[in-house]
Structure 1
């Protein structure tokens, strides 16, 4: 279904510099995520996940979720990695706002974007069409994988894909312009939300900050093209906050630049390694540049990305050699 909401602007009192994120007070014994919502701009809130890899210690909560407060109601963005997260997210939102939730958005098909949907089944839940298809096809596998990784945090979690197909474009939003932008590359359908008047961007999985990007559904060339398109779309925007799905919120494009740097480097490494005839084990043993050494989820994400992506580069390199062989 197409989405058209009349969105207004909530009040915002704090002045001065944007506060740093409060650390989540995760209580493993009580299975409490310790969610700490904070306001990043007028009408915009974020709940930041751990800048880590999935683990029992963080309850598989490595995702940034959030919501937009309007005069008519709330727009919730991402629902977290489990039913329990979705329930605690909803309770945190209801403590801070008495307005109804008009719409829930899942920005892509990955599990921590939508496995909390069970807590929101009485509200419209939307995503891009390709994301919904992916949730339906892979949801059960996501459940099983996160149960193995995070155990009791996942009790009662069953995948509930979004049901409403979101159409990209501008929404009527009172005195401000709120845009849903469809891009791709991190997955086949990547949804980005831009508040052009408040200068807030929910960039979804296209942008990572201080963390190695994940690539289970990635097309590196398409992802790089989408980063270029997003940066062009934001040109002239008075950026107040760019919210990646993984990593700290910042008031600049440094997360986008970091993501581009990693993807360009990774693509070049895979291409050159294949042309040299290196096998998978040899590529995995190559050193990483110092500038990436402190990023979260190293070396796990490098290993996963190379293992998944490198065979295609090997096939392409072999094809090039074969094509150039005299007959």
Structure 2
């Protein structure tokens, strides 16, 4: 165990340091008594607003609002991105958007299958809600379990909430594609790795890139549907967009909005450390209990949802690494 810890510490010292991002104080002040999320849209570019969730883990104190939702008020109408963790969130999101613009909402996009991306859909009845084909299949398959978990974690914030998957499927075979919506030129494309279907939106008019769960900033990434190799490849594709200058402002679904590739590099750094830690531990024959006691490098220690999210990832994925090592031919 001592040799493993030393190895991990050395790898942390030798690896490139992750970019540091300033985490602003929470924009909203949720009121548990009134069940008011206190949603406050913040303009980040022309016609573009983000409603920022807390950089944290799910809790009743924050109403389980840890996601960044957004909307683009084009000259032809409004495009909404993600609808939050509950019916209440969706209703309050809708009112918050109406305080900014009275333009009609054309459609709502969900960037992946996780519950805080679509559990507010009940509030958007009558408006097209769209997601990739695989995301909708996942919403339908796991919606009941999501609801059970969120009711347990979030309590009264979930009153009246039901899993309401996106209604319209976006065929991945039609992507990537560019659409002109009013005065904004928007590009949609499918990546994967955080989930089996990760929808990404780039607004070429403003340079704002909505990365969904592929990028986490100042927060430990969640990995229940991860494919680590595919995720790294998707991060490479996103970095190319940033390096080309097409994307400048990055809106992750979890963590602060930022300029450039800092959040992307944080996510890559974490995934590399996590997978190498599990591989090394499996090769040394450590059990899960020993791996759960592995200290994290200092650069990750202050991130939100630490160590809970790390422990979830290790508990889910470490047995797979053990099995691979056991199945490998003896050297």
**In the alignment, which residue of structure 2 is the partner of 1:119?**
123
**In the alignment, which residue of structure 2 is the partner of 1:284?**
292
Give 1:225's match in structure 2, choosing from 211, 229, 233. Answer: 233
In the alignment, the residues of structure 2 paired with residue 237 and residue 110 of structure 1 have an alpha-carbon distance, to the nearest angstrom, of 30
TM superposition shift of 1:287: 0.8
Q: 1:1-327 to 2 correspondence within 5 Å?
A: 23-167=27-171, 168=175, 169-174=177-182, 176-237=184-245, 239-320=247-328, 323-324=329-330
TM superposition shift of 1:174: 4.8
**In the alignment, which residue of structure 2 is the partner of 1:11?**
none
- Alpha-carbon contact 2:242-2:248 (below 8 Å) kept: no
- Alpha-carbon contact 1:274-1:317 (below 8 Å) kept: yes
In the alignment, the residues of structure 1 paired with residue 25 and residue 169 of structure 2 have an alpha-carbon distance, to the nearest angstrom, of 32
TM superposition shift of 1:196: 1.8
In the alignment, the residues of structure 2 paired with residue 147 and residue 171 of structure 1 have an alpha-carbon distance, to the nearest angstrom, of 38
Describe the shift of the 1:44–1:21 C-alpha distance in structure 2 as closer, same or farther (beyond 3 A): farther
> Structure 2: which 5+ runs fail to align?
1-23
Q: Root-mean-square deviation (CA), in Å? A: 1.3
TM superposition shift of 1:236: 1.8
The C-alpha deviation readout for 1:258-281, integer Å capped at 9, x for no partner, is: 000000110100110101101000
TM superposition shift of 1:116: 0.3
- Alpha-carbon contact 2:76-2:182 (below 8 Å) kept: no
The C-alpha deviation readout for 1:221-250, integer Å capped at 9, x for no partner, is: 111111011111333225442000000000
TM superposition shift of 1:22: 6.0
SS at match of 2:243: coil
SS at match of 2:79: strand
In the alignment, the residues of structure 2 paired with residue 290 and residue 193 of structure 1 have an alpha-carbon distance, to the nearest angstrom, of 33
The TM-score normalised by the length of structure 1 is 0.91
- Alpha-carbon contact 1:21-1:38 (below 8 Å) kept: no
- Alpha-carbon contact 1:41-1:240 (below 8 Å) kept: no
In the alignment, the residues of structure 1 paired with residue 274 and residue 205 of structure 2 have an alpha-carbon distance, to the nearest angstrom, of 35
Describe the shift of the 1:21–1:201 C-alpha distance in structure 2 as closer, same or farther (beyond 3 A): farther
TM superposition shift of 1:251: 1.4
- How many residue pairs get aligned? The number is 304
In the alignment, the residues of structure 2 paired with residue 291 and residue 231 of structure 1 have an alpha-carbon distance, to the nearest angstrom, of 21
Structure 1 residue ranges (4+ consecutive) displaced by more than 6 angstroms after TM superposition = none
98-107 vs 158-167, greater mean Cα deviation: 158-167
In the alignment, the residues of structure 2 paired with residue 185 and residue 238 of structure 1 have an alpha-carbon distance, to the nearest angstrom, of 22
